[in-house]
Structure 1
Amino acid sequence: MEPLRGADPAGIAGYRLLRRLGAGGMGVVYLARSGSGSLAAVKVIRAAHADDPGFRARFRREVETAGRVTSPWVVPLLDADPDAESPWLATAFVPGPSLAEAVEECGPLPYRSVRFLGARLAEALEAVHGAGLVHRDVKPGNVLLAVDGPRMIDFGIARMPEDTALTASGMVVGSPGFLSPEQARGRGREIGPASDVFSLGCLLAFAATGERPFGRGSAAEALVRTVHDEPDLDGVPAPLLLLLRNCLAKEPGSRPPVADIRRVLDGTEPDDRNSEGGGWLPESSTRLIARRSTAALALPAVEATEVSGAPPGIDTVHDSEEPPKGATRRRFLVLGSAAGVLAAGATAAWWTADRPGRASTRGGGTRLPRTVVALHADLTGGHKAAGLAQENGVRLAVDHLNSRTDRGFDLALQVHDDAGSPTRARRIARQLAADKRVRAVIGPTTDACAEAVVAEYQKALLPVVSVSVGLEGVTYRTYAATRPPDRNLAAPLVAYLVRTARARRTVLIDDAAEGDFSWNICASVGDAMRSGRHATTRRTLAAEDDTADDFRALAESVVDAEADAVVFAGGHARAAKLAVALRGAGYSGVRLATERALDPRFLASAGNAAEGWVFATAFLDPTRVTAAKSFVTAYRERFGTAPPWYSAEAYDAALFVGRAMTTPGASGAARGTIVGRLRDIDYRGITKRLRYTSSSTGYTVKALYLFRASGGRFRFLGQYEDATA
């Protein structure tokens, strides 16, 4: 639930509006209290659609449709006025989460819960089909969970099979990922009760596994897979597999009717609704329902006469506000709204996120809720330069989000320092996982600390968005990496060797002190360069080899090999020693390294021998990027220096999280809901585009760059494809 906004009415007919439940393109759904004191969900259509006679006729049909279906598992229609200036309808309020929210926050449902869910929804669809209708939008977001069972909602696109209003050839209506193949193909006249059966199969697979059977990604991708691919039912309990495969048959005639589905699920085994705590849902989901119910019961009681006769769309004052003496209530409300608009336009409501004890307000005096995000970083250890840069970038992003006048909440920032210690990182992760105020984590800074905590965050369904971690193979649903894996750093090195240097003989130096990172870089470059025109030789620098003689011998072997290029995959200290040794041996060819050597200490130690070295990185120089101009200005004003590496990437990561939190209806969203939204949104930031695809190991595209040491500094060459073109 979200607070009412300035333009929201205080009442509709005899319903006093209390909170926002959600919003979409068609209208807004409010939590309301009727004159008798009962709670209701009131859907109000936006004015732009209310002026469309065709849309008003469709809305009137929705009201008629909802009134025809009678089932204990369908949310009943209480009242409606499709002919009002702002058409509306009211249904009974179910204080539980949607199935989508419950799975995202609490994880997949156990087998017994899925079986009970499926049986009751099949029973609901029996009533829908018995009324001569097809629901057409059976999806997790349209199923609410209550203590006694699920409730189906939203008959906005339900129709009789022969209805031509939504059966035009080629029109796709519904929610991709839960549509039937005939819906995906836009074959409206073929859409009948069997289409709802297919959607029900998708929904039950999602409930059992937490994943859509036809994957995520864009709507177009989901539609194509629905039509052509077999569903992914990995993780579905064995007793449900045959039934779900039948429900998900491509041909409508091969799917079972809903009555058979109900009988199968009700008769699979004895009813065990009273096992494991006395309910049909697991304890975590039951607690979620209890929290929602408690929040609804805590809402203030409102007298039925308070809104009787009040003009819709005028009353925007909260219960605590009173008009001054001598002013009519209506005039005060209008003036108060105008004053709020003027205040919002005159000054931005900046708020320092980590300043305790301060809550901001919006125009009109509305107190905003506070949502907490945590930064988990190395601020005092060996990687503190990157950690502190990330902290500053996140702080700027929080300031930016809190300056928006259209925000629904204030973002508060917690900062936690693991000092680069995996042990300390685990303690921090347990602390954040237990703190229910924290909705998302940005960090950690290092691979080792990330490896130590991602499982802990997964157990708590706490989304964690990393900035500088290059781990591969991390498949936890809660983990979002905003930079490519370490192995991908080989791509800029290969491009430079082939396109720019046109190297013919390359020595790859594996620095054992860097472990798997160095080995993987050398292996990837070697594999890519393996051809008759590109010869590679591999050398290993042992972890204990650290004397001047060790590096001199290594440099001489490079010269002896007549190499025209060297790739070194070690850190800055050993890279500096190698640079000095190569210069001493008379080597003048191409010298390449990775971001692990890109450190001011390399320049200081190597001196003139650093000149000309080229480095592959997963971060950019924001001062050289047009899209980051305002960020650079803000950073200089706030911190007095140019933004360091990884500060802009951290800024983007924080805004990426903020975007997931501020998606319509997401204010104060539960952790699991944010996890799902991070996978659904397409964020275009100042450094990169972040978009999840099921075939990708991360969220990033085009985020690999090249730098060159020149004139005693590191100069940014740009995106590697452009720099090597």
Structure 2
Amino acid sequence: MEPLRATDPVWIAGHRLLRRLGAGGMGVVYLARSPGGALAAVKVIRAAHADDAGFRARFRREVETAGRVASPWVVPLLDADPDAESPWLATAFVPGPSLAEAVEECGALPYESVRVLGARLAEALDAVHGAGLVHRDVKPGNVLLAVGGPQMIDFGIARTPEDTALTASGMVVGSPGFLSPEQAQGRGREIGPASDVFSLGCLLAYSVTGERPFGWGSAAETLVRTVHDEPDLGAVPGPLLPLLRACLAKEPGSRPTVVEIRRSLDGGGEDWLPEPVTRLIARRSAAVLALPAIGATEVSGATTTVDTGPTTGQAATRRRLLVLGSVGGVLAAGGTVASWWSARGGRASVQERPRLVIALHADLSGSGRTTGRAQENGVRLAVDRFNSRTGRGFDLALQVHDDRGTATGAREVAERLAADDRVRAVLGPTTDACTRATLAIYQQARLAMVTVSVGLDDVSPTSYRVYAATRPGDSVLAAPVVAYLVRTAGARKTVLIDDAAGGEVSWRLCESVDEAVRSGQRGTVRRTLSTGADSDGAFRSLAESVVDTGADALVFGGGYARAARLARALRSADYSGARLATERALDARFLGSAGEAAEGWVFATAFRDATRETAAKSFVTAYRARFATTPPWYAAEAYDATLFVARAMTALGAARAERGAIAGQLRETDYQGITKRLRYDASTYRYTDAMYLFEATGGAFRCLGDYRDATA
């Protein structure tokens, strides 16, 4: 829930609006009190659509459709006015999460839970079909979970099978991944009750495995797989497998009816949800109970409700409980609410601001401690900055964990954080190796891991949906290297030195630069510096071979220590061409070891110098005041990453900022930080493409800026 905005109405036809529940292209959904005091979800259509006669007619049909269905497992329509200046409809409010949120946050549901879920949704669809309708959009996002049972919502595209508005050839209506082959192919006149059965099969497979039966990816890819491929049901429990195979038959006539599905799954009832989901519902219910108490008043001659502010005492809280119960059983969280009430001894209290815990997972004492400690300082400043803001909906609390820069230590930290359900998101780890060691642990826990200094290129965002890297991968650093070689240095022949001690990262850099630079006008020469090349003679020999090629540019893929030895050897060999490396060599120890030979070296990085950024001025001032030093590399980026996570949490609201929800919201969040803009780009599977160039000059590193500007 979010507070109302200044532009939001306070009243809609006697409904007192309390909070925002969500917004989209069509309108805004509010939490409201009905004139009788019941909680309701009120959808209000945006003015731009209200002026469209065709849209208004479709909305009127949605109201009529929703009003025709009566089932204990369908959220009922309470009131509506499709002819109002701002058309609206009100349904009963369910405080629980959607099925999609629950699976994302808590993982796949156990078999017995899915049995109950399937039986009750089949009963709901029986009511839909009995009203002469086809829902057409049965998906996890359209099923809300409550202690008493699931609740189906959204009849925006439900129609009668013969409705010509949605039977035009080629029109695809529904949500890819959960629609039938006939929907995927736009075979409108074939879309009947069996289509909802197929969608229900997809939904149940997702519920019990956590994966879509036709995979993830683009809408087009999913539609093709739905039509032509068999579903992936390998992780479905054996007792459920025959039914789901039948539901997902390609031909509508081969699928069971909803009545048959209900009969095959019926059983169970009380305590049907696993404990993590029940706790999630409890937190949502508690957030609703924390809303201000209400009282009756007269407005324009009609009795309605107004917000009377926080109250204390047993009577005020009991009044709120009675209001929650007045939804007529649809709230279906009575048991949870009663427990919440009982745990507090029947006394109300003024709610403190919620505290959402984030954790820093970093190398604070190992080989990467310089970077890890810089990130810790940046995160601490960001937490303080967020908690100083007025009007925030929650406070951030920080845990700090040191993995000592080892894979074993990283796994220990990850397992500890995964088991601590207070932790909502993780910043880190610091290194590639520690990140690889923890990916599966954080993925299993649905715990977002937002890395700052990790350059992994081969982590699939579809396999690891919790992984958010706020810097581009190591191989992408070839882009600023190539730009400098071609635009600034005008290189005709470049020697690419693969440092075997640098592993695959060095090889990939050389390979990428080679592919991009080599052409009819430009040539490349490959050299390898072996891991055992530790003598001055080996570096001298390499430098002489570079000079012998007649190269006017050189790219080195290794770290600072061997880069410094190579720099000294090149200076002794009188090499005067361009010399480039990456951030792996951008270290003060390079300057100290290389001495005058460091002059003129250029480095491609995924971080920038915060002291040169106007937007980072206050951060730099605060950092110097608190830590008595200039911000090191990646301190400002860690500051941005923390506030990026806080932005996602704020968008969800404290009550909905659960682990899985945060991981998903990060892909929807657009945050302009002091160093870079962070937003997810599905086409490249990155959150940023920010890359920069530095130059060693006068015994220091000078940031040249974004490589696109620096090489223009």
Would you call these one fold, judging by a TM-score over 0.5?
yes
Instruction: Specify the alignment match of 1:537 in structure 2.
Output: 526
Instruction: Choose the corresponding residue for 1:592, options 580, 585, 590.
Output: 580
Instruction: Specify the alignment match of 1:327 in structure 2.
Output: none
1:587-628 C-alpha deviation (Å, 9 max, x unpaired)? 22332211111112212321221112121222233455xxx5
Distance 1:199 1:309, change over 3 A: farther
**Is the counterpart of residue 102 in structure 1 residue 87 in structure 2?**
no
- Choose 126-135 or 233-242, whichever is displaced more: 233-242
1:183-217 C-alpha deviation (Å, 9 max, x unpaired)? 78999888654654554455345334434567767
Instruction: Specify the alignment match of 2:44 in structure 1.
Output: 45
1:24-62 C-alpha deviation (Å, 9 max, x unpaired)? 553434275996x9x643426379599869688766654
Instruction: Specify the alignment match of 2:554 in structure 1.
Output: 566
**Is the counterpart of residue 478 in structure 1 residue 466 in structure 2?**
yes
Instruction: Choose the corresponding residue for 1:446, options 409, 431, 435.
Output: 431
Instruction: Specify the alignment match of 2:338 in structure 1.
Output: none
Distance 1:660 1:164, change over 3 A: farther
* Mapped partners of 1:679, 1:635: distance in 2: 28
Contact 1:49 1:56 survives alignment (8 Å): no
Distance 1:4 1:718, change over 3 A: closer
* Mapped partners of 1:557, 1:650: distance in 2: 41
Matched positions, count: 662
Instruction: Choose the corresponding residue for 2:399, options 410, 414, 422.
Output: 414
TM-score normalized with structure 1 length? 0.75
**Is the counterpart of residue 711 in structure 1 residue 698 in structure 2?**
yes
* Mapped partners of 1:531, 1:56: distance in 2: 60
Distance 1:124 1:412, change over 3 A: same
Instruction: Specify the alignment match of 2:450 in structure 1.
Output: 465
**Is the counterpart of residue 602 in structure 1 residue 590 in structure 2?**
yes
Q: Tell me the CA shift for residue 435 of structure 1.
A: 3.0
* Mapped partners of 1:50, 1:613: distance in 2: 58
Counterpart of 1:538, as a letter, is R
Percent identical across equivalent pairs?
A: 65
* Mapped partners of 2:223, 2:286: distance in 1: 40
- Choose 577-586 or 165-174, whichever is displaced more: 165-174
Instruction: Specify the alignment match of 1:28 in structure 2.
Output: 29
Q: Tell me the CA shift for residue 407 of structure 1.
A: 4.0
Counterpart of 1:319, as a letter, is P
Counterpart of 1:658, as a letter, is A
Q: Tell me the CA shift for residue 576 of structure 1.
A: 1.4
**Is the counterpart of residue 255 in structure 1 residue 243 in structure 2?**
no
Instruction: Specify the alignment match of 1:315 in structure 2.
Output: 306
**Is the counterpart of residue 673 in structure 1 residue 661 in structure 2?**
yes
Distance 1:9 1:535, change over 3 A: closer
* Mapped partners of 2:185, 2:638: distance in 1: 41
Instruction: Choose the corresponding residue for 1:376, options 361, 382, 386.
Output: 361
Instruction: Specify the alignment match of 1:518 in structure 2.
Output: 506
Contact 1:421 1:449 survives alignment (8 Å): yes
- Choose 66-75 or 105-114, whichever is displaced more: 105-114
SS in 2 for 1:414: strand
Instruction: Specify the alignment match of 2:137 in structure 1.
Output: 137
* Mapped partners of 2:27, 2:682: distance in 1: 30
5+ unaligned residues in a row in structure 1: which ranges? Answer: 323-364
Contact 1:702 1:719 survives alignment (8 Å): no
- Choose 307-316 or 451-460, whichever is displaced more: 307-316
SS in 2 for 1:669: coil
- Aligned counterparts, 1:143-222, within 5 A: 143-147=143-147, 149-161=149-161, 178=178, 193=193, 196-197=196-197, 199-212=199-212, 221-222=218-219
Instruction: Specify the alignment match of 2:686 in structure 1.
Output: 699
* Mapped partners of 2:675, 2:177: distance in 1: 30
SS in 2 for 1:45: strand
Q: Tell me the CA shift for residue 140 of structure 1.
A: 1.5
SS in 1 for 2:71: coil
1:311-346 C-alpha deviation (Å, 9 max, x unpaired)? 799834423299xxxxxxxxxxxxxxxxxxxxxxxx
1:231-265 C-alpha deviation (Å, 9 max, x unpaired)? 79445546778876886789xxx435985255257
Distance 1:413 1:7, change over 3 A: farther
Cα RMSD of the aligned pairs, angstroms, is 4.6
Q: Tell me the CA shift for residue 469 of structure 1.
A: 0.7
1:354-413 C-alpha deviation (Å, 9 max, x unpaired)? xxxxxxxxxxx9954332222223345443443344344434544554566564333333
* Mapped partners of 1:582, 1:301: distance in 2: 73
* Mapped partners of 1:257, 1:711: distance in 2: 77
Contact 1:50 1:85 survives alignment (8 Å): no
SS in 2 for 1:679: helix
Instruction: Specify the alignment match of 1:430 in structure 2.
Output: 415
Instruction: Specify the alignment match of 2:277 in structure 1.
Output: 285
* Mapped partners of 2:101, 2:190: distance in 1: 31
* Mapped partners of 1:535, 1:62: distance in 2: 65
Contact 1:10 1:315 survives alignment (8 Å): no
TM-score normalized with structure 2 length? 0.77
Instruction: Choose the corresponding residue for 1:390, options 367, 375, 384.
Output: 375
Contact 1:124 1:152 survives alignment (8 Å): yes
5+ unaligned residues in a row in structure 2: which ranges? Answer: 314-349
- Choose 472-481 or 208-217, whichever is displaced more: 208-217
SS in 1 for 2:257: helix
Distance 1:294 1:707, change over 3 A: closer
Instruction: Specify the alignment match of 1:73 in structure 2.
Output: 73
Q: Tell me the CA shift for residue 283 of structure 1.
A: 4.7
Q: Tell me the CA shift for residue 144 of structure 1.
A: 1.6
* Mapped partners of 2:186, 2:479: distance in 1: 42
* Mapped partners of 2:492, 2:48: distance in 1: 66
* Mapped partners of 1:235, 1:496: distance in 2: 50
Instruction: Specify the alignment match of 2:599 in structure 1.
Output: 611
- Choose 101-110 or 147-156, whichever is displaced more: 147-156
Q: Tell me the CA shift for residue 446 of structure 1.
A: 1.7
Counterpart of 2:311, as a letter, is S
